[in-house]
Amino acid sequence: MRNNPKGVRFRELCRLCDHYFGVARQAGSSHRVYRTPWPGNPRVNLQSDRGKAKAYQVRQVLKAIDMLKEKKAKETEE
């Protein structure tokens, strides 16, 4: 996924977001919106492009997951 963000299926990216961010806040339309646990309530917004995830959205999701893992690691250290 990191090596080729263009080849990711939309469903696969949605499953990944469901795992890390919980159920989509908005689903069933052309977009799926996930909340993230950071101040300011930033969101991860996904939309399908003929069954594939858009590459820039894959990169955004991976960055958000990395941030989430860093946050949890810091909390564990304390």
pLDDT at position 77: 80
pLDDT in tens, the chain (78 residues): 888 899 899 999 999 999 999 988 876 777 899 988 888 768 889 999 899 999 999 999 999 999 989 988 888 887
DSSP letter string, 41-71: --EEEEEEETTEE-HHHHHHHHHHHHHHHHH
pLDDT at position 65: 93
User: Alpha-carbon dihedral of residues 58, 59, 60, 63, nearest 10 degrees?
Assistant: 120
Quote the crossing angle between the two packed helices 55-77 and 10-21, to the nearest 10°.
Answer: 20
User: How much is the pTM?
Assistant: 0.83
Rounded CA separation 17/55 (Å): 15
